[in-house]
Structure 1
Amino acid sequence: MSYHELSIEERVTVQIGQLQGLSQRHIARLLDRSPSTVSRELRRNTSLQGTYVAHQAQGQMRHRRKVCRPRNKLLAGGELFELVVHLLRQCFSPEQIAGKLRSMNIPSFEDSYVCRETIYNAVYALPVGGLRKELIACLRQGKSTRKPRVGGVDRRSQIPEMVSIHVRPPEVEDRIMPGHWEGDLIKGQANASAVGTLVERTSGYLMLIKMHDATATSAVQGFSAALNRMPLALRKSMTYDQGREMTRHAEITQSTGVAIYFCDPHSPWQRGSNENINGLIRQYLPKGTDLSVHSQETLDAIAYQMNIRPRKRFGFKCPIEVITEVMSKQSPGPASI
């Protein structure tokens, strides 16, 4: 239960109880309060002469509350407020103004640094009228109302039954056993089109998958079809980021038998092979272009060009050569992709 200040009526009861010689516990029962509340009230507001007066105690409480409240740094009409208004009119953002005030060597403003939220609050707290409308129009968004800049709902980790990369088998990290993939989407103009990328960790072998869009349905259909084209020995695991297109990852696992592990948020280095190859793919699929115009045949041709590029880490062998060699070691029969 939250604490509430004693009212003037309750303080009168305390004063009368003191005059009648009642104990603090007795007074507390009369007020339906804790004895510690009465004890604290008497300790704070009893005069030097040892008397307690209700209206004096009420005045002292109001004074203390006034003193404890921070002083408003941006009062309309003040010198600092006028400087902020001037900078807003110069199209400075509140964050830029706050940073500029911190760096300015103005003696009269040394103790008056204000953060951006203080500036926003001062603008939106102005009475409805010309100045308020003018200053809001100077802001980047220019909205008549504003929500404070607080942390929103964290939309990560909303993937059901997500398995962390930290429980991934050690053989995946060693890059010795083939069949472990890293996946991602590269997106086109306005995120309206997408292409799926799959990179095999041991060999660097690349597959590009045409997607209708960046939805979970397209991810299930595209990645499942691509993985099922590979031999069973090359379908062990896939490591992915926490993109929402993977909310139906269980369906991919059910369809392909590939276990899916998810990276930590904002940790692209945990899919280093995929991030590196995505940068190379942009030579063929530039950012800001419509990726939906590329057919699967075109994407296969691009992937083939990438897969015959010699790689320094393989002694300048190409991914097709490497994955063929690795597969031949895993099975006695001929292996081809």
Structure 2
Amino acid sequence: MARAGVITADLRRVIENMWGRGKSCAEIARTIGVHRSSVGREVDRNHSHRHGVKNPRRGEAGGRGRYQVGYRADWAQDKTRPRRRRPKPRKLATNLPLRAAVVAGLRDRLSPQQIAAQLREQFAGDAGMRVSHETIYQAIYLQARGSLRELVNDALRTGQRARRSQSRAALAARSAIRGKPWVTEQVHISARPAEVADRAIPGHWEGDLLIGAYKRSAIITLAERSTRFVMLGALPTDRSSPEVIAVIRTLFGRLPAQLHRSLTWDQGVELAGYAQFGLVEDCQVYFCDPHSPWQRGTNENTNGLLRQYFPKGKFDFTTIDQTGLDAVAAQLNRRPRQTLNWHTPAQKLNQHLVALTP
């Protein structure tokens, strides 16, 4: 039994014999213990016009109509050896324009998947300017001279120096802790209308505080659920409820009233005075369950992205002003997102703004 998909020299002799006796790809595959597509590819790439007709007929039953050609094991093995030579030249080591485009994307803090999608769109007619995200990851993690890790500091937002398994332990059950007194039934997340959950209508936001080093500073992070658009707010004085609510009002003031319909927050005290101080007219506030960050998944993802700019436990937010935060938000908002069909949050929000223009 061959390892899945691997065709050895001995198996090629079996293929030659059975193919010559008119056996189908499926029959050969069952005999040698590989998938029938592996046999089909083997015959496809290793046939020779020297052993068959120049214009093979296609589409005939049993798969043999595709290859009215000869197959010789020794000739196929000779063709295979150059293809299997290792190490092969790496695509990002030999294609300098492609390498430069990938490095530029990494320096703009795009993920490998975002870079790959952006290149497919920008160079739709140029196959040489396409690369898979896996190839970019390999180039980043390659611990060798000339790797992308050497060229781009903090190339990945996680900052990992080595790849780790994608398996994860199951999440613990939600903690049953009593909610805060200001979280009434009317403002609990369970009261949130269905239009918020399905993300069909823009203007529903999720928010939180991102805390700085030694818990001495913080900023406001707001993420719109439909477009993933991000706004950041500086808190130069403190993070009391009046201060936080005043900054949120200022941020929402940048947008038309139709684009601040609701705000979902955790149960932090910084929004305890939302009713007393007033948030924004017609903007309903909802509070999540205690210790349930997944109920603000869009905002949690945003905060994870921001840790690439502001490392946890290391950054002092008093060192950055509103202008600096706006620059970071602008960079996040021009990142293409897979969930937006590789459009950017800025593009999606602009579409809604145009639709609101009379």
- How high is the TM-score relative to the length of structure 2? 0.48
Alignment CA distance shift 1:252-1:275 (3 Å)? farther
Q: CA deviation at 1:225?
A: 1.2
* SS in structure 1 at match of 2:309: coil
Is the aligned partner of 1:323 residue 2:349?
A: yes
Q: CA deviation at 1:155?
A: 7.6
Alignment CA distance shift 1:252-1:270 (3 Å)? farther
Does the CA contact (< 8 Å) of 1:159 and 1:244 recur in 2?
no
Aligned residue among 231, 245, 265 for 1:207: 231
| Distance in structure 2 (CA, Å) of the matches to 1:182 and 1:199 | 5
Structure 2 partner of 1:61: none
Aligned residue among 139, 149, 158 for 2:181: 158
Structure 1 partner of 2:316: 290
Does the CA contact (< 8 Å) of 1:183 and 1:274 recur in 2?
yes
Is the aligned partner of 1:307 residue 2:333?
A: yes
* SS in structure 2 at match of 1:185: strand
Q: CA deviation at 1:159?
A: 2.3
Does the CA contact (< 8 Å) of 2:183 and 2:267 recur in 1?
no
Does the CA contact (< 8 Å) of 2:267 and 2:289 recur in 1?
yes
| Distance in structure 2 (CA, Å) of the matches to 1:256 and 1:210 | 22
* SS in structure 2 at match of 1:186: strand
Give the count of matched residue pairs: 179
Instruction: Supply the AA of the counterpart residue of 2:243.
Output: S
Aligned residue among 266, 283, 298 for 1:241: 266
Aligned residue among 292, 301, 310 for 1:276: 301
Report the RMSD for the aligned CA atoms in angstroms: 1.8
Structure 2 partner of 1:196: 220
Does the CA contact (< 8 Å) of 1:224 and 1:256 recur in 2?
no
Rg: which structure is higher? 1
* SS in structure 1 at match of 2:249: helix
- Where structure 1 has 5 or more consecutive residues not aligned to the other structure, the ranges are 1-153
Does the CA contact (< 8 Å) of 1:239 and 1:262 recur in 2?
yes
Is the aligned partner of 1:169 residue 2:225?
A: no
Instruction: Supply the AA of the counterpart residue of 2:344.
Output: C
Alignment CA distance shift 1:254-1:322 (3 Å)? closer
Alignment CA distance shift 1:178-1:294 (3 Å)? same
Moved over 6 A (4+): none
| Distance in structure 2 (CA, Å) of the matches to 1:191 and 1:293 | 14
Is the aligned partner of 1:225 residue 2:250?
A: yes
| Distance in structure 2 (CA, Å) of the matches to 1:253 and 1:180 | 17
Q: CA deviation at 1:254?
A: 4.9
* SS in structure 1 at match of 2:195: helix
Alignment CA distance shift 1:251-1:179 (3 Å)? farther
Does the CA contact (< 8 Å) of 1:178 and 1:327 recur in 2?
no
Q: CA deviation at 1:215?
A: 1.7
Q: CA deviation at 1:156?
A: 3.9
Q: Deviations over 1:134-178 (max 9, x none)?
A: xxxxxxxxxxxxxxxxxxxx7841326571010111000010111
* SS in structure 1 at match of 2:205: strand
Q: CA deviation at 1:332?
A: 5.2
Q: CA deviation at 1:286?
A: 1.4
Instruction: Supply the AA of the counterpart residue of 1:202.
Output: S
Listed as ranges, the matches of 1:1-337 within 5 Å are 156-159=179-182, 161=184, 163-211=187-235, 212-251=237-276, 253-288=278-313, 289-329=315-355, 331=356, 333=358
| Distance in structure 2 (CA, Å) of the matches to 1:317 and 1:270 | 24
Does the CA contact (< 8 Å) of 1:241 and 1:264 recur in 2?
yes
- Where structure 2 has 5 or more consecutive residues not aligned to the other structure, the ranges are 1-176
Does the CA contact (< 8 Å) of 2:183 and 2:287 recur in 1?
no
Q: CA deviation at 1:216?
A: 1.1
| Distance in structure 1 (CA, Å) of the matches to 2:279 and 2:209 | 21
Instruction: Supply the AA of the counterpart residue of 2:205.
Output: W
| Distance in structure 1 (CA, Å) of the matches to 2:255 and 2:350 | 12
Structure 1 partner of 2:111: none
Does the CA contact (< 8 Å) of 2:248 and 2:279 recur in 1?
no
* SS in structure 1 at match of 2:228: coil
| Distance in structure 1 (CA, Å) of the matches to 2:312 and 2:205 | 24
- How high is the TM-score relative to the length of structure 1? 0.50
* SS in structure 2 at match of 1:260: strand
